[in-house]
Amino acid sequence: MPTADPSLAPARSTIPLTLRLNGREATFVVEPQVTLLDLLRDRAGLEGTKKGCDRGQCGACTVLVNGRRTLSCLALALPHAGDDITTIEGLADGDVLHPVQAAFVEHDAFQCGFCTPGQILSAVAVIAEGRAHGDDAIREAMSGNVCRCGAYPNIVAAIAAVQGAR
């Protein structure tokens, strides 16, 4: 079987990329096929963002791009040059949890916690979009984020509580 010494193989083209991660400018050199999710997890050390399906079907990888919720597994990294990315690590203010994070703890809006970063970022955006008025509206707007543990009623309660306190 022929083998190729990887050190001799031609390297793929790599392109510098600068974006803002949780308020801080960060620069990487990446190949074009790198997704925003894999950039965050494997290169930026932001492993709070989760990979549940890698094809945009579960919502675990949801991050905010310029405030808009985005499936980072379906987004290539390079087009996001200059964008402002918020991940779960960037939500709390020091030790003070974001109100949605605090509400998720209080309402037990998760079990295993794997979908939780995506749920919370989705929830932050849904509230900001003004779509969190009423339980049915919350259910509809949050249906892109699968929770296999089945914490949905508690997720709705947590979001409704934050919305109600606004």
State the burial class of residue 82 (Cβ atoms within 10 Å of its Cβ: 0-12, 13-18, 19+). Answer: exposed
Q: What part of residues 73-92 is at the interface with other proteins (CB under 8 A)?
A: 87-89, 91-92
Which residue stretch of 64-72, 78-86, 103-111 sits at the interface with other proteins (rule: CB under 8 A)?
103-111
Stretch that binds other proteins, among 26-34, 64-72, 78-86 (CB under 8 A): 26-34
CB of 26 to other proteins, least distance (A): 16
Q: Binder to other proteins among 20, 26, 54, 76 (CB under 8 A)?
A: 54
How far is Cα 77 from Cα 60, in angstroms, rounded to an integer? Answer: 17
Tokens of 120: 């919370």
Encode 101-134 in three state secondary structure: HHHHHHCCCCCCCCCHHHHHHHHHHHHHCCCCCC
Q: In angstroms, what is the minimal distance from the CB of 71 to other proteins?
A: 12
54 or 84: whose CB is closer to other proteins?
54
Quick one: which of 60, 75, 78, 162 contacts other proteins (CB under 8 A)? Answer: 60
Structure tokens at 150: 């089945």
